[in-house]
Chains A and B, each alone.
Chain A
Amino acid sequence: MAATFVVTLREAFEAALLLGIVYTFLDRIGARAQWRYVTTGGALGLVASVAMGVGLTSVSGPLLDLGPDLIATVVIFAAVVLLTWHSWWMRRHASALHGGVVRRLEEARTSRRWWIVGLIAFTGVFREGAETVLFLWGLLAQASVGSWAGITGGVLGVLVAAALGWAIFHGGRHVNVRTFFSVTTVLLLLVAAGLLSTGLGKLQALGVLPAGEPLWDSTWLLDDRGGVGGFLTALLGYRARPSTFEAAGWALYLVAAGILIFGRRTRVRVARPVETAR
């Protein structure tokens, strides 16, 4: 039971985290009406996951050999772009937070980016969704007296992940709004950096990018094959033996995205005195 619990918790954690953050984000900018974008995106992600799970069992040959890898790679890089975009957008909102709800909404409406939160929900759920669906399906297919504990564990893992998403939502509504924006922006960038690194590793495994020696080995410190290390791999792209592409991609992304998003702060500061003068 413990084993299946860990697997589904690990797979569903990222989705729960992202959903929790985008729901809270919309709540805090007074755009609860736009929750439907997130809900629709998440639901479509679930539908796509089941469809892919079913689809995989009915295809064979090159479609089965390469198809899932191609889809996974596209989803990963799309998620990186979406999360970066969203962080940048959140940052702009943070500057509007000094105004009232109306101004915040206006700011969001003029940018018309609601569909981004929907897509984030979609990719968040879909990324590990098909795997989780197949895993649970497999448990059911093997259902015998002894494996009910496994099924219970698997379902509990998803439920606990959902509860964590809810906890983020609940907590996020009560913390200081600026703190919420800053913490989630950093968190989203770390998730995006991890995804980028994972995507680069995938491209190396597929032979698109040249493979190479690991840059270092921190297995002694934190093994990425299980426990805490496994969680960090799933969520933040931690690797005990990163390739040059993975490590450099991770670092370069954080620097570039950090400048893009936090570098705008100066412009916000310049804008504020004008606002009070009015």
Chain B
Amino acid sequence: MKALVLAVTLLGLAAAPALAAEPAEIALTIEKNRFAPEEVRVKAGAPFVLVITNKDGSPEEFESKDLRIEKVIPAGKTVRLRMPSLKAGTYPFVGEYHEKTAKGRIVVE
């Protein structure tokens, strides 16, 4: 039993840094040609992963000119987008296929 506790503790200790190093995930949904939420807030200098799910019946392209990202998200699919650590500021993005409605921004603070 003691050995088991020790093993679990050791495993936990070994896994903890790995978990902490995993960048935070931020969910973004596309529905009815709009992003939800339209504003994503992240900390400056910390990489993160945007998990974008397209709930619409048509593809969308996540595009940020500032961040040089163009990413097609087919209908009903989820795309994991690794984002670099950003400096403080506002980075707008659009859904290129529905630019009128699909707009949002990443606010880095």
Stretch at the interface among A36-44, A199-207, A256-264: A199-207
List residues of B (21-44) whose CB comes within 8 Å of A's CBs.
none
Does more than half of chain A's interface fall in helix, strand or loop, or is it mixed? Answer: helix
Q: With contacts A7-B96, A65-B80, A134-B74 known, is A57 near B68, CB below 8 A?
A: no
Check A205 against B77 for contact (C-beta < 8 Å). no
List residues of A (51-76) whose CB comes within 8 Å of B's CBs.
56-57, 60, 64-65, 68-69, 72
A-side contacts of B97, CB under 8 Å: 7, 134-135, 138
Check B59 against A138 for contact (C-beta < 8 Å). yes
Question: Is A49 among interface residues, defined by CB-CB distance under 8 A?
Answer: no
Tell me, in angstroms, the Cα distance from A60 to B60 when the chains sit together.
15
Nearest CB in chain B to that of A60: its residue: B77
Q: Which of B59, B82, B99, B100 contacts A134 (CB 8 A)?
A: B59
A-side contacts of B99, CB under 8 Å: 3, 7
B-side contacts of A233, CB under 8 Å: 65
Question: Is A28 among interface residues, defined by CB-CB distance under 8 A?
Answer: no
Check B75 against A141 for contact (C-beta < 8 Å). yes
Q: Mark B83-109, 1 if CB is under 8 A from A, else 0.
A: 010010000100011011000000000
25 contacts between A and B (CB under 8 A): A3-B99, A7-B96, A7-B99, A56-B59, A56-B72, A64-B79, A68-B71, A69-B71, A72-B70, A134-B59, A134-B61, A134-B74, A135-B59, A137-B58, A139-B58, A141-B75, A142-B57, A142-B58, A201-B68, A205-B67, A205-B68, A213-B87, A225-B65, A225-B92, A241-B66
Interface residues, chain A, with chain B CB atoms under 8 Å away: 3, 7, 56-57, 60, 64-65, 68-69, 72, 130-131, 134-135, 137-139, 141-142, 201-202, 204-205, 207, 211, 213, 224-225, 233, 241
Interface residues, chain B, with chain A CB atoms under 8 Å away: 56-61, 65-72, 74-75, 77-82, 84, 87, 92, 96-97, 99-100
Q: Which 6 A-B pairs have the closest CB atoms?
A: A138-B58, A205-B68, A201-B68, A57-B74, A141-B58, A134-B59
